């Protein structure tokens, strides 16, 4: 990290403002070399976090744009290094000329996530906070943004740290008794030790239980729209998306493959899967579509089973409902409410009467989906595990704690119990980044955008 990096920190294409960001030992001097302050005071002599008006210069020293510059000296910056930002007009040509001028000063192009990686390596963020930065940028719903914001503020980290501190106390007591047997140190009692480990196990188990909801919050809820042919599946997909994504006709079997799109409904991000109508068919192409529908249903977190409200349910509907029982959540949607002959469905929980053409019932569907996936306090605070890496590390820590308690119950020697306690500490260290291999760190930051 001894060099200085720069990147465009704003999105591609034209925009009102475009930012050139620098970090490293030569960040301020390099920015000063391509910036001519209107007041005459060199950028290197300006105060931290003050906007300075001036001109951006190209590599030949010619004015390109009127810009604002700001600097932050180490360690009081995002990365913990000297940083500088040049706030330009958002022309890609202007930003390219500015980058070329900075590169001529010996600055190099930053890689994906390199600014946040430096913040992590310099102790400004732990690894879960760094991951939250990417989640915040990628958030597709307000709930996901709030959760990532809470993680960035350190709420999840503090929850993990409480467990870690408990294990540090246990480990320190173990070592003190084992290493200094002649000192006047309170000996550990199995009951007291087991109580401490039980508290840690309970806290970790509760944390691990948040992963399923956290994963769905960030990645979206797999939602299969299923039903027999002409039940209104594609019409519902189009109504939810607000445009004609799928072809709709009166001909049974129009949809031959799964159609997938994302939408937000009830504050939840849904990964909608419009499926082929499930029925027995001799058409080989349609049969393959039906098989894909069955697979989509088996992997769905939510099944919307569409039933035609203008005719009584038949054997095909009953079979589809039976298959849909495998999904953790199921909502029966009676369609075509606007047509003559539509019969109101039973007034039960998880049942909605809907017309995709008029929009009748869409609000009720939204409320039913929200009821299936209620937001908890841990979501609002950002105290949830949201990716597989976090869940895997927490799972190993929990397994090690259970092994430690089992060893203690069997009367094994303290050093045997200590091995499992320290194994749990090591796994928790991977959560925060205290103990992590370089290749794992690199893979985490590869999903970041350049400039962040």
Known binder of ligand: residue 277? yes
Known binder of ligand: residue 233? yes
Known binder of ligand: residue 215? no
**Interstrand relation of 35-37 and 52-57 (parallel, antiparallel or unpaired):** antiparallel
Known binder of ligand: residue 349? no
Closest CA to 170 of 151, 150, 198, 142: 198
Closest CA to 259 of 247, 242, 243: 247
Known binder of ligand: residue 268? no
Known binder of ligand: residue 10? no
Q: What burial letters (b/e) apply to 43-69, b meaning 16+ CB within 10 Å?
A: beebeeeeebebbbbbbeeeebbebbb
Closest CA to 96 of 174, 206, 40, 12: 12
3-state secondary structure the chain: CCCCEEEECCCCCCEEEEEEEEECCCHHHHHHHCEEECCCCCHHHCCCCCCEEEEEECCCCCEEEEEEEEEECCCCCCCCCCEEEEEEEECHHHHHHHHHHHHHCCCEECCECHHHHHHHHCCCCCHHHHHHHHHHHHCCCHHHHHHHHHHHCCHHHHHHHHHHHHHHHHHHHHHHHHHCCCCCCCCCCHHHHHHHHHHHHHHHHHHHCCHHHHHHHHHCEEEEEEECCCCCHHHHHHHHHCCCCCCCCCCCCCCCCCEEEEEEECCEEEEEEECCCCCCCCCHHHHHHHHHHHHHHHCCCEEEEEEECCCCCCHHHHHHHHHHCCCCEEEEEEECCCCCCCCCCCCCCCEEECCCCCCCCHHHHHHHHHHHCCCCHHHHHCCCCCCHHHHHHHHHHHHHHHHHHHHHHCCCCHHHHHHHHHHHHHHHHHHHCCCCCHHHHHHHHCCCCECC
Angle at 136 between CA 327 and CA 165, to 5 degrees: 85
Contact 308, 320 (CB under 8 A): no
Known binder of ligand: residue 251? yes
Known binder of ligand: residue 254? yes
Contact 24, 82 (CB under 8 A): yes
Known binder of ligand: residue 234? yes
Known binder of ligand: residue 258? no
Binding site feature residues for Mg(2+): 234, 255
Binding site feature residues for K(+): 230, 249, 251, 254
Binding site feature residues for (6S)-5-formyl-5,6,7,8-tetrahydrofolate: 21, 85, 124, 452
Binding site feature residues: 21, 85, 124, 230-235, 249-255, 274-277, 452
Binding site feature residues for GTP: 230-235, 249-255, 274-277
């Amino acid at each position: 990290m001894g060099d200085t990096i720069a990147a465009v920190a704003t999105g591609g294409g034209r925009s009102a403002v475009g930012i050139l960001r620098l970090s490293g030992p030569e960040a301020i001097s390099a920015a000063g070399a391509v910036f001519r302050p209107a007041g005459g005071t060199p950028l290197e002599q300006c105060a931290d976090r003050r906007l300075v008006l001036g001109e951006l210069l190209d590599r030949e020293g010619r004015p390109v744009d009127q810009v604002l510059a700001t600097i932050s000296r180490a360690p009081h910056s995002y990365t913990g290094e000297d940083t500088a930002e040049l706030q330009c007009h958002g022309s890609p040509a202007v930003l390219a000329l500015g980058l070329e001028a900075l590169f001529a000063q010996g600055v190099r192009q930053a890689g994906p996530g390199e600014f946040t990686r430096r913040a992590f390596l310099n102790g400004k963020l732990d690894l879960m906070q760094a991951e939250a930065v990417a989640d915040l940028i990628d958030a597709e719903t307000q709930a996901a943004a709030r959760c990532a914001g809470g993680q960035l503020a350190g709420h999840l980290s503090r929850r993990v740290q409480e467990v870690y501190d408990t294990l540090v106390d246990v480990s320190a007591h173990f070592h003190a008794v084992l290493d200094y047997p002649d000192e006047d140190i309170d000996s550990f009692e199995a009951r007291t030790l087991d109580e401490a480990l039980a508290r840690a196990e309970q806290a970790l188990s509760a944390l691990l239980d948040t992963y399923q909801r956290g994963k769905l919050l960030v990645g979206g809820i797999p939602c299969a729209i299923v039903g027999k042919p002409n039940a209104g599946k594609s019409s519902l997909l189009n109504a939810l998306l607000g445009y004609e994504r799928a072809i709709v006709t009166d001909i049974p079997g129009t949809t031959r493959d799964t159609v997938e799109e994302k939408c937000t409904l009830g504050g939840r991000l849904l990964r909608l899967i419009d499926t082929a109508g499930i029925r027995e068919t001799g058409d080989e192409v349609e049969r393959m579509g039906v098989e894909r529908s069955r697979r989509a249903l088996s992997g769905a977190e939510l099944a919307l089973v569409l039933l035609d409200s203008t005719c009584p349910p038949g054997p095909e509907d009953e079979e589809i409902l039976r298959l849909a029982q495998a999904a953790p959540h199921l909502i029966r949607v009676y369609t075509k409410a606007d047509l003559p002959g539509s019969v109101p469905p039973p007034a039960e929980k998880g049942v909605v009467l809907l017309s995709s053409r008029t929009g009748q019932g869409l609000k009720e569907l939204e409320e039913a989906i929200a009821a299936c996936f209620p937001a908890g306090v841990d979501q609002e605070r950002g105290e949830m595990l949201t990716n597989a890496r976090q869940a895997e590390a927490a799972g190993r820590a929990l397994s090690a704690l259970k092994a430690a308690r089992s060893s203690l119950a069997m009367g094994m020697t303290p050093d045997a119990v200590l091995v499992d306690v320290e194994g749990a500490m090591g796994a928790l260290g991977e959560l925060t980044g205290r103990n992590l291999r370089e290749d794992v760190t690199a893979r985490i930051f590869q999903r970041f955008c350049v400039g962040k």
